[in-house]
Amino acid sequence: LYPSFDQQWFQEGGANTEAVFVTIFNNSSGTNTTKPNGYDNATRPSYTGTSGGSNQPTWEMVQAFPMLDGKKPGTSTKYAYNSQLFYKNRDPRFDKTIAYNGCTWPLNGNTAYKLWTYYTTASKSVETKASTTGFYCRKAINSTAALSDAQYVGTDWIELRYAEVLLNLAETACGTNNLSVAFDQLKAIRKRAGIEIGTDGNYGLQAGMSRTQMFDAILYERQIEFAFEGKRFWDLRRWKKVETTLNGKRRNALVITLKTTGVPTDFATTRDNLSLDLVYTNYFTIATKVLDTKYAINWLPAYYYLPIPQGAIDNNPSLIQNNTWGGGFDPLQ
């Protein structure tokens, strides 16, 4: 594992011991040579690049991260979870993955820059390209890139990290009931993340987990470790857990609003120098807002194996449609 969870994205070539499969990009601005990754410019806040605001973390993703001792929010006896101060005492990967209202994020090389996403009026209108969830993704974003260079960021994208090799090993070991091997891989991932080791040396992991509990712990670790790396959907799909995990749910935003009374008149100019805990406790109100207002998530079992296009069947009458789409072919046989 590379020593730094977040800096591994910016160490290219053989010096990056974690990168296994990589898609290479460059930061050239030449007409015929430019090949930026596109991700950086599309993900950062729009006013720090030429695009921006994509890949927005939901309130559910914010809540998913463990506490600093590795326990899930609400279960830690050492670090009580307070939704008003949701950012406090979290797994160190939280601050390296999610940018939130009031966090320090040295974009465009400004080492003192703080991100503010709160509303100042009850109307809560959202500017074009602003985050609709109240959060931004900061994983693999090159904060040193100048505003004029954001569209040319050439950070390589790591398709497969050694961390995933370890969690694949954990998953395989769990499948063969070799739970001690699986447990060791989880501890290695959490150790690098910076989670506290704890008095039992288990980094917040439950001792003596059953096979089912271990499997759930592995999928949970993958959700956190690989957030915004394009893994979660496929993890749920390959284990046919999409509907049991997501069906009936609606994604939420966190709406942070500046109070109309009791706030210093010079808040807009002094906020960067104030204690974040003080600001959240005294000057902000928070509330959740449903984003999926029309429909809740409704994944159907038929979606695991999509239908064979009718045009392909018309061209080859020997093809039989999948049984979940009205045909007689069982993809599992």
Each of the 333 residues of the chain gets a pLDDT tens digit; together they read 999 999 999 999 999 999 999 999 999 888 778 899 999 999 999 888 778 888 999 999 999 999 999 999 999 999 999 999 999 999 999 999 999 999 999 999 899 999 999 999 766 666 667 899 999 999 999 999 988 899 999 999 999 999 999 999 999 999 999 999 999 999 999 999 999 999 999 999 999 999 999 999 999 999 999 999 999 999 999 999 999 999 999 999 999 999 999 999 999 999 999 999 999 999 999 999 999 999 999 999 999 999 999 999 999 999 999 999 999 999 998
Q: Which residues contact 298 (CB under 8 A, 6 or more apart)?
A: 247, 248
Apex 181 CA angle, 179 and 183, nearest 5: 65
- pLDDT score recorded for residue 122: 63
Name the maximum alpha-carbon separation found in the chain. Answer: 75
Q: Are 102 and 276 in contact (CB under 8 A)?
A: yes
- pLDDT score recorded for residue 127: 65
C-alpha separations of 217 from 59, 228, 237, 319 in Å: 21, 19, 17, 40
Q: Are 117 and 156 in contact (CB under 8 A)?
A: no
What are the backbone dihedrals phi and psi of residue 151, each rounded to the nearest 5 degrees, phi first?
-75, -10
- pLDDT score recorded for residue 128: 65
Apex 37 CA angle, 31 and 43, nearest 5: 120
- pLDDT score recorded for residue 47: 83
Using alpha carbons, select from 149, 125, 132 the residue that is nearest to residue 48. 149
State CA 66 to chain mean position distance: 13
Q: Does the pTM of the predicted model rise above 0.75? A: yes
C-alpha separations of 308 from 53, 185, 322 in Å: 35, 39, 7
Q: Which residues contact 85 (CB under 8 A, 6 or more apart)?
A: 277, 280, 281
- pLDDT score recorded for residue 90: 99
Q: Which residues pair with 286 in a beta bridge?
A: 256
C-alpha separations of 20 from 10, 26, 153 in Å: 14, 18, 21
- pLDDT score recorded for residue 51: 81
Q: What is the rounded distance in angstroms from the CA atom of residue 296 to the CA atom of residue 261?
A: 37
- pLDDT score recorded for residue 50: 79
Using alpha carbons, select from 59, 61, 77, 57 the residue that is nearest to residue 69. 77
Q: Which residues contact 73 (CB under 8 A, 6 or more apart)?
A: 63, 65, 66, 67, 81
